[in-house]
Structure 1
């Protein structure tokens, strides 16, 4: 699932959200653009459960996907969730990963902890891919029955266009192909991704209508190949995406798999037919047919063989029936829809929004939100566990520091970040504080905020004398100008040594964050670095030395880390706006 580039500091987890995170501490400094979710659902019983989620910058490599998949399988095994099959689309990394793990068309499984895990490709996704191939190529079918004879004939996408145009000429209100629309024949963008567009185009209704046009000599006999191909695709979808206990009339395989349903023999015959398909780019040029299997064709073959072997395995485990609808990605796609709806119908939520919405959906039991126009059917599954433990607050969060209103704090200027040696810029900061340089005024103002939060629940005259000063210090000019009254000071004024300490700390943090931003326990890591760079000798209150030191370090981190994230996000937005503006100018110029 695509997500938006955005980072935000999470004080509860003590990490920056929005960076690439592949679990087990494998975080990088790259911004996340995709969410990878592992989702389990029952075969014998109607349940579902999100298992894990990860964030990647540029998709996931096949090697990394193998590692993550095995981690998830191990975790599922420890939770006593027996995994018998994996379902995924035909993304390049997915195909490569299962191939490297030992799965192929002849042996559609890999072995994990001495158990066979069958690998199946998502059938609705396969249908869309095959539709796209059909638009690009003619398909040579070796077994088309014409007048009781088997002939080699080509299925053509153009036959569907002719049939649709013929149906639109019907002078009566009712139409045979009433579900088809103009854009179904020329799908682009979001339309091309909708399963129903492919399913309704390659449906039994279209196949029957083509047969009728051939019978009335409106289409030539060669169009029987197109009708035959569409009927085969319709039956394949029925057999691999069914949940009804009893088959409908005219749809013998649109029901659950059982010993008497005939699915196994149908799949074996379908495997033979699909294996013989040849794709021809130029019309009527059978010599230019592809003699190798195209990816989607291999996907059908792999899925047919894997589903057949899975059913054989389940029968040995005492399973009497199988809902093939349970071995597709509808449950996962519905989860993505719920996550987007939970973010205010946001198609590309941020990492923080994704995590928050996912937790909300799980706690609410992944209930149906009545979404219309979704890209998949309702999965009719119930959540295995709502993970109410997600509601428990994280331990170890400092309430006094966490309550700081980060949005009201702004550290102006970036000139303090131009140093690499802390002792060097500490001297320069001290000189700037002494003369009341503009770049130190905002630091003093932030110090006043820290002093206010500190002494709201803490009283010590000695500490107050160390950290505070009067309004005559040059670095406090900005605070003095912001006073509400000339008769009484209501704002807090910082001492020069305190300004130097915080200025040094925030500069060190700015220099180090691009290097340590991917770390877990980020505040602890940053605090240790700051502790080595800041001179705390100005704190002469022995009773509260360590308390003040710890409070100041945490304050710098709680203010500096979120502000670092905010500035980076602003830069991302500015760059995106600049690119949009440049594209608009080029378009207008053209």
Structure 2
């Protein structure tokens, strides 16, 4: 399951060196049979295929032209179509069944390559290039992993547990900081939770507004009159969160934002 080990084996260095050694006319114990050339060519093919799906920079290195951003003029699509033809002919011998069979890894890799060809035809109509390495589910996987491990090991949460964990993670991540010595840039905000306050109360605050031409219409709940018990509860929890935050936040600008008051004690 370790991709790093696989990448070390199916690499350009291993494939090119295997081809070179197999062509040596030597009888030493370190020599390779001539048939090793085909294995080396297969390793170079896999290395190029992974390079084409792992580009993280717009400009590809001169030695690996496939390890770059996908553009209208990049050689990715032509290589992918040839790679599909190669992978469709790949068979693996099953010793128990005593016949050649298809394996899920190769079948799903063909589907992945076909998916990238489809994405290229759609995305390049809107953008000039895109990075194939960014097309992954790491963010979604990390998010669901955080939900499943929040509080306890809950690998199969129901809808209510999922929503509760999601809300708690939002608050915890919001109140956390990257490192005690991290630099904090001014974001020109008057309050850290003003956008949430604007959404919940419908109050129009200075500097916070929706773009009418790009943002979808979101129903804003009406400002509901709170009882004194509700106001006291909000004030208690707000004070508790700020008290905990001041112990960990070491930025004076952040502290001043957390302690900022607009003059309305009830808010």
Q: CA deviation at 1:255?
A: 0.9
1:297 aligns with 2:110: no
Tell me the SS of whatever aligns to 2:66: coil
Q: Distance in 2 between matches of 1:209 and 1:235?
A: 16
Assess, with a 3 A threshold, how the Cα gap between structure 1 residues 258 and 388 changes in structure 2: closer, same or farther.
Answer: same
Q: CA deviation at 1:266?
A: 0.9
Q: Give the alignment partner of residue 210 of structure 1, picking from 18, 29, 36.
A: 18
Deviations 1:342-361 (A, max 9, x none): 65xx7x45649976664454
Q: Give the alignment partner of residue 75 of structure 2, picking from 244, 262, 277.
A: 262
Q: Give the alignment partner of residue 229 of structure 1, picking from 38, 42, 52.
A: 42
Q: CA deviation at 1:279?
A: 1.4
Q: CA deviation at 1:308?
A: 0.8
Report what 1:309 is aligned to. 118
* Structure 2: 5+ residue stretches without partners: 180-192, 201-225, 231-267
How do 1:167-566 residues align onto structure 2 when only pairs under 5 Å count?
A: 193-216=1-24, 218-281=31-94, 288-290=99-101, 293-316=102-125, 318-336=126-144, 348-349=153-154, 351=157, 358-363=166-171, 364=173
Q: Is the 8 A contact 2:58 2:129 kept in 1?
A: no
Deviations 1:500-555 (A, max 9, x none): xxxxxxxxxxxxxxxxxxxxxxxxxxxxxxxxxxxxxxxxxxxxxxxxxxxxxxxx
Q: CA deviation at 1:262?
A: 1.0
Larger % of strand: which?
1
Tell me the SS of whatever aligns to 1:221: coil
Report what 2:209 is aligned to. none
Q: Is the 8 A contact 2:56 2:69 kept in 1?
A: yes
Q: CA deviation at 1:298?
A: 1.8
Q: Distance in 2 between matches of 1:294 and 1:214?
A: 29
Q: TM-score, normalised by structure 2?
A: 0.53
Tell me the SS of whatever aligns to 2:92: strand
Report what 2:182 is aligned to. none
Q: CA deviation at 1:256?
A: 0.9
How do 1:152-167 residues align onto structure 2 when only pairs under 5 Å count?
A: none
Q: CA deviation at 1:310?
A: 2.0
Q: CA deviation at 1:268?
A: 0.8
Deviations 1:199-244 (A, max 9, x none): 3332223223323432345221222222222222222122122221
Deviations 1:14-68 (A, max 9, x none): xxxxxxxxxxxxxxxxxxxxxxxxxxxxxxxxxxxxxxxxxxxxxxxxxxxxxxx
Q: TM-score, normalised by structure 1?
A: 0.26
Q: Is the 8 A contact 1:281 1:288 kept in 2?
A: yes
* Structure 1: 5+ residue stretches without partners: 1-192, 371-385, 400-590
Q: CA deviation at 1:368?
A: 10
Q: Distance in 2 between matches of 1:209 and 1:362?
A: 51
Assess, with a 3 A threshold, how the Cα gap between structure 1 residues 281 and 213 changes in structure 2: closer, same or farther.
Answer: farther
Q: Distance in 2 between matches of 1:272 and 1:335?
A: 36
Q: Is the 8 A contact 1:338 1:369 kept in 2?
A: no
Q: Distance in 1 between matches of 2:5 and 2:11?
A: 10
Larger radius of gyration: 1
Tell me the SS of whatever aligns to 1:255: coil
Q: Distance in 2 between matches of 1:196 and 1:355?
A: 35
Q: How many residues in Structure 1 have an aligned counterpart in Structure 2?
A: 176
Q: Is the 8 A contact 1:241 1:254 kept in 2?
A: yes
Tell me the SS of whatever aligns to 1:280: strand
